[in-house]
Structure 1
Amino acid sequence: MRFLPARYLTTAILLALLGWLQWQIWIGRGSYPSVELMRQETAVQRASNELIRQDNERLANDIADLRDGREKMEEIARQELGMIKPNEIFVQYTRP
């Protein structure tokens, strides 16, 4: 059995290594397409997190208002339940 000369063996090893590195860059884990997909998913998640943060902030403000006084409870009762005070006229209109 005859072996390849050392220079051919070195060249073959280097080409195999180069091929493996190219495969990792273009197809493997952490490749350009997968990184771009992760960036897009991250952007969508950040937008979702921002909406949830705003909603949480609004809810925290509502809770603080409910704890501090009766004005918020009265506002909710009027808006959602249509409650009115004695000797008060309730007029509801819709915007065009």
Structure 2
Amino acid sequence: MLLLAFAGLQAKLWWGDGGMREARQLEVRVEDQRRENARLQQRNDALSAEVEDLKSGEAAVEDRARSELGMIKPGETFYRVVEPTAPDGAPPTVSVPPVEPEPRP
């Protein structure tokens, strides 16, 4: 009788609700969540640094204006690089003249 009770308790420990198998699955999920949290924390830190840079520095705003909006300073010349799109791989025969900035008042 004692042996049967022991076997029943062991079965519940290994395969029942809240048993070893479920505990191991939870440990794996917790570890996966920790890795995801670390990845998201790094992303948040990078975004926070970028926000601080944009708030405090003129260089970051200038860089964004140049790369995302295509803006240039007075006296600069803008050049556009066109990638080849011909099916035979030949470079395009398009020439782009420099764009002079408009005078500012």
TM-score (norm 2): 0.64
SS of the residue aligned with 1:89? coil
For structure 2, the residue ranges without an aligned partner over 5 or more in a row are 82-105
For structure 1, the residue ranges without an aligned partner over 5 or more in a row are 1-11
* Aligned residue number for residue 76 of structure 1: 64
The correspondence for 1:29, drawn from 17, 30, 43, is 17
Equivalences, count: 81
The correspondence for 1:18, drawn from 6, 20, 25, is 6
Question: Which of 1 and 2 has greater Rg?
Answer: 1
Q: Larger helix proportion, structure 1 or 2? A: 1
Identity of aligned residues (%): 35
Q: Give, in whole Å, the separation in 1 of the partners of 2:77 and 2:45.
A: 34
Which letter maps to 1:55?
A: R
2:78 matches 1:90? yes
* Aligned residue number for residue 55 of structure 1: 43
TM-score (norm 1): 0.69
Q: Give, in whole Å, the separation in 2 of the partners of 1:77 and 1:35.
A: 52
Q: Using the TM superposition, give the Cα deviation of residue 40 of structure 1 relative to its aligned residue in structure 2, in angstroms.
A: 1.7
SS of the residue aligned with 2:3? helix
Provide the alpha-carbon RMSD of the alignment.
1.9
Structure possessing the higher relative contact order (Cα contacts under 8 Å, 6 or more residues apart): 2
Q: Give, in whole Å, the separation in 2 of the partners of 1:50 and 1:78.
A: 32
SS of the residue aligned with 1:30? coil
1:19-75 Cα deviation digits (max 9, x unpaired): 331122111133222122112212211111111000110011011112212211111
